[in-house]
Chain A
Amino acid sequence: MSLPVTPDTVVVPRLDVRVRRVGGDFLVGIAEEAYSLSESGAFIWRQINGRRTVREIAERLATEYDVDDATALDDTSATITELNGLDLVRLGPEESAG
């Protein structure tokens, strides 16, 4: 059972996911499967570094696309949930406050 995605969840990239940026498309693949990410999905993907939380990625999304924080957090959480469901990212332990 996969962990729930919360704002404090750290998102960890999988090193074995293939990435290609060709002709404006942003493609990610693992094993035999490949997926095309939307522009905002690609932006989120690029922020995943194994240290940033969902909230921190959402803050960057809000700045990049000039959307409010709540919308950015919803979009980021939904995208990370989907990526995790496709087994393209791992969810790390939640970052504890303080």
Chain B
Amino acid sequence: MTLSSVNLADIETTLKTKNLIPASCLAIFVGGSLARGWQHARSDADLYVVSTEPWTGEADGFNAVALDPATVPTNSSYLDGRRIEVRYWTDDQIDQLLGKVTWERFRETDSIGDRINKAESYLLARLSTALVVSGVDWIDRRREQLADSAFRPMLTMRALAVADSYVEDALGMLESGDQHAAILAAHGALVAAADALAANQGELGVEDKWRARRMAAISSPVLPFDRYWELTTMRSYDPEQPKRWVEDVLELCRTVALEVEI
């Protein structure tokens, strides 16, 4: 059985059989690569279980979150030889998290989503593309709240800020004659600019390994996939003229910032 053929009902049955569903469960969904159809032969299945009460059953790890409670228990198990990682969120944690991505926060205190940590960002991104196992009404309602929130602009602004920082570094390194460092900084700027474009077009994932997938998915006229791939794989880089490649990339970053409208 391959991951792509995992039946959502089988997942729920497996969780029930292993007593991995809390009594106060509101929703279960699959996130990550499996939900996008991007899974590979060795992909895990990322499952999210949301309940009213905190999970008190078996756990073998946790994700740290800046919420109350401050942890999301995790439990790893297997379905037909495939690893399934279950994360147990509470409904109240989701409320708190959505409270961090309001437009008021965006305008007044946290335009780059500095208070959202990695696990929190993953939850929101995966909620947006979730495959529903159970609790469709809950998930639909939360998706609407997410769509109305400032999470997308926060991610976009964060990526633009990272790109700016790398651009500044690359220019300074060129001025100092450190071309190797300038090339790496320019590559960092390219990555961040691509992330800004993708986030602004609704691709909210932040994992590096799926950047090419995200760029293909958005099919941006500002940075078409072929151009992105040419630059990120440095096919147009000429060792005899490193400054030219750096400046090409920085010019592209300038164009991206010009085109991204929040």
A residues bordering B, Cβ < 8 Å? 13, 15-23, 45-46
Q: Indicate if the CB atoms of A18 and B258 lie closer than 8 Å.
A: no
A13 to B157 CA separation, bound complex (whole angstroms): 21
Find out whether the CB atom of A21 lies under 8 angstroms from the CB atom of B171: no
Q: Whole-angstrom distance from the CB of B103 to the nearest CB of chain A?
A: 10
Residues of A within 8 A of B9 (CB): none
Expressed in whole angstroms, the Cα–Cα distance for A86 and B250 within the complex equals 21
Extra 19 A-B pairs, beta carbons < 8 Å, given A16-B167, A19-B257: A13-B254, A15-B167, A15-B171, A15-B247, A15-B254, A16-B168, A16-B171, A17-B254, A18-B160, A18-B164, A19-B254, A20-B157, A20-B262, A21-B258, A21-B262, A22-B153, A22-B262, A23-B262, A46-B258
With beta carbons under 8 angstroms apart, the residue of B167, B168, B260 that contacts A21 is B260
Interface of B is mostly: helix
Would you give the shortest CB distance from B102 to chain A, in whole angstroms?
Answer: 15
* A21, B255: Cα distance in complex, Å: 12
A13 to B167 CA separation, bound complex (whole angstroms): 14
Size range of the chain B interface in the assembly: 10 to 19
Q: How would residues 164 to 178 of chain B score, 1 for a CB under 8 Å from any chain A CB and 0 otherwise?
A: 100110010000000
B157 to chain A, nearest CB (A): 7
In the complex, what residues of B have CB within 8 A of residue A15's CB?
167, 171, 247, 250-251, 253-254
**Are B171 and A18 interface neighbours, CB within 8 A?**
no
Closest chain B residue to A42 by CB distance? B258
Given the complex of chains A and B, what is the CA–CA distance between A18 and B166 in angstroms?
12
Residues of chain A within 8 A of B80, CB atoms compared: none
Q: Mark B222-262, 1 if CB is under 8 A from A, else 0.
A: 00000000000000000000000001001101100110111
Tell me which residues across on chain A come within 8 A of B153, comparing CB atoms: 22
A19 lies within 8 A of B258 (CB):
yes
Q: Could you list 18 A-B pairs, sorted by A, with CB under 8 Å? A: A13-B254, A15-B171, A15-B250, A15-B251, A15-B253, A15-B254, A16-B167, A18-B160, A18-B164, A18-B257, A19-B254, A20-B157, A20-B160, A20-B257, A20-B262, A22-B153, A22-B157, A45-B258
B157, B160, B171, B258: residue with the most chain A Cβ atoms closer than 10 Å: B258
A48 to chain B, nearest CB (A): 10
The smallest C-beta distance from B189 to any residue of chain A, in angstroms, reads 10
